Amino acid sequence: MFSYNDLQVIDVVARRGSFSGAAEELHKVPSAISYTVRLIEERLAVDLFVRLHRKVKLTPAGEYFVEEARKLIKQMDQIKYQTQRVANGWSQSVYVALDTVVRESRVNTLVRDFYRQFPDVELHLSMEVFNGVWDALADGRADIAIGATAAVPVSGSFDYRDMGTLYWKFVVAPDHPLANADYPLEPEELMQYSSICIEDTSRVLPKRVTWLMDNQRRIMVPNWHSALQCLKAGLGIGVVPEHMAQPRIDSGELVEKKLATKPAASPCCLAWNKESQNPAIEWLLEYLGDSEQLHREWMR
C-alpha cells in the first residue's frame, strides 16, 4: 500500500513540522511533498496533518500512522542490511549444538564473547545427548557441534577437530548398598540396581546408551544434572564424565567404585558443516582453539 518513500515523507514532515522543512531535508520542492502527503491521506481516507499557516500538526490518526510508519522503515532498513550481509557471506543466525558432557560454565563465556564480536548475529544454542549432536549437524539444525562423542555416524560435508578423550567414573551414593564394596564389581552384581541413563536426543540416527548391563532396568533422565541428583539420592548406579564426577567424589557426595569391566573411554571432537562457512562461524572455529585448548576449556 505504501512505498518506502511514502513512509519516509510522512516521517520527515512530522519531524520537521512543515512541508518546506521536509522538502529541504529530502531535496525536493514543497509542492511534491504536499502532493505525496495528500495522496497517502486519500488512500487512508483520513487526515494525517492539520494544515496551519506555515506549519502542519499531526492529527491523532497521524500520530498513530507516524509511529507505525517508523517501525516499518526500521524493518525495511533491517531487511536491506541483512540481505546485503547474506550476499557477502554473513548469516543472521549461527546454530551451535553442545553435547551435555561439556562444561556448562564455559557456555556463558562463549555467549558473552560472541556477542561482543557480532552484536547483530543471533547465536542459537541447543543441548544434545550422544548421537543427538550428530543428528542436529546432519539435519542442518546446527552449524557447529561441540563435544560430539564416539565415531562419526554420518557422512557428508563435515570437518572435525579432536577435543581429546572423555573418561568415565562409576559412582554411587555414600549410603548405597555398593558403597562399601572393596572389590571390582561384576555385571551380575550390578544388574540388581537401576542404571541412571540419559536419553539420547537423536531424531533419526540410532540412539546410544553410554553404560548398561543386559536386562538391567533403566531410569531415563534428560541431562547430567538430573542424573547426578538421582545418583546422590541413591536411586540407581551409573557412570559419569570424569570432570563432573571428581568434584562430587572429593566432596563426599558420591563414592567411586571399581568395575571388573571398565567403561570404554569416549573420544570427543568439535565438528562443523563445511558448507555453512561465514565470518561468524569462522570466528567461532578460531575462538574455540586447537585440540589442547578445547580439551582444557570444555572437557576438564
pLDDT score for 119:
86
Asked whether residue 71 carries a pLDDT value surpassing 80, the answer given is yes
In Å, how far are 150, 170, 205, 286 from 137, measured between CA atoms?
A: 15, 30, 11, 19
Q: Are strands 255-256 and 158-166 parallel, antiparallel or unpaired?
A: unpaired
What are 124-146's pLDDT values in tens digits?
999 999 889 998 988 889 999 99
- Residue 140 region, left (φ>0) first, then alpha (ψ -120 to 50), else beta? left
pLDDT score for 276:
76
pLDDT score for 221:
92
Helix axis angle, 242-250 relative to 224-232, nearest 10°? 30
Domains in the chain: ranges and CATH = 4-87 (1.10.10.10), 93-165+267-298 (3.40.190.10), 168-264 (3.40.190.290)
Q: What is the mean pLDDT of residues 138-156?
A: 80
Asked whether residue 210 carries a pLDDT value surpassing 90, the answer given is no
What are 230-278's pLDDT values in tens digits?
999 999 999 999 999 999 999 999 999 999 988 888 899 999 988 877 8
